Chains A and B, each alone.
Chain A
Amino acid sequence: DAGVTQSPTHLIKTRGQQVTLRCSPKSGHDTVSWYQQALGQGPQFIFQYYEEEERQRGNFPDRFSGHQFPNYSSELNVNALLLGDSALYLCASSLGGSYGARDYEQYFGPGTRLTVT
């Protein structure tokens, strides 16, 4: 049973560039959430995708955008990169739907380490 996978593992970009990170959810899961974790801090919620739509969004600027594909995999795009975007980007998958039907537990991938120079 494949867990959550993310690619690439590491990425180095220059300020102003654009980046795309990818995530494949755990088998059977249909909901993908993205988090940003700065060094020494807890993860911060970016947004969540369910049924190919952004269901909820955290306090991140519009430079952060995403997409979910029919196979439930997801992409996170960040435009006009800033030095402050350097972080570990984590993807989590879960089984969505109404609260009563949900598998509440979130499963995390290994993350993508983004460095902006």
Chain B
Amino acid sequence: KQEVTQIPAALSVPEGENLVLNCSFTDSAIYNLQWFRQDPGKGLTSLLLIQSSQREQTSGRLNASLDKSSGRSTLYIAASQPGDSATYLCAVESDNYGQNFVFGPGTRLSVLP
């Protein structure tokens, strides 16, 4: 059974800091990994999708890397802003478990002005 964990559970940083969010998964036979952002009580906004053949993806101040062999992904946020405050979720789609995503519990980020 695929399990996804995220560290830290919560993070509070001053504006302008660079930060790293971590995602780990137990079964390395994944098809892809997707990072999402969720504002309180809202749906999920896709940030980055990394297919299994890729090592990283970048969008603006966000960079996500994937290391399948070690079962890890990191989301790097550069020059954080108060508007980045949200919960960040990673989800993996596994070869062995069909086309649904297994989500981590999320990292709750607060960026202080």
Contact = CB atoms under 8 A, between A and B. Distances in A.
The yes or no verdict on A and B being binding partners is yes
Contacts of B105: 40-42
Interface residues of A, number: 31
A33 interface: yes
B99 A55 contact: yes
B2 to A, nearest CB: 11
B42 A43 contact: no
Interface residues of B, number: 25
27 contacts: A33-B101, A35-B103, A41-B105, A42-B4, A42-B89, A42-B91, A43-B89, A43-B91, A43-B101, A44-B103, A48-B98, A55-B99, A56-B100, A90-B43, A90-B44, A99-B31, A104-B31, A104-B49, A104-B51, A104-B93, A105-B46, A106-B46, A108-B36, A108-B44, A109-B43, A110-B43, A111-B43
Given A35-B103, A105-B46, A108-B46, 19 more contacts: A31-B99, A33-B101, A42-B103, A43-B103, A44-B103, A45-B100, A48-B99, A55-B99, A56-B98, A56-B99, A56-B100, A90-B44, A94-B99, A104-B31, A104-B51, A105-B34, A106-B46, A108-B43, A111-B42
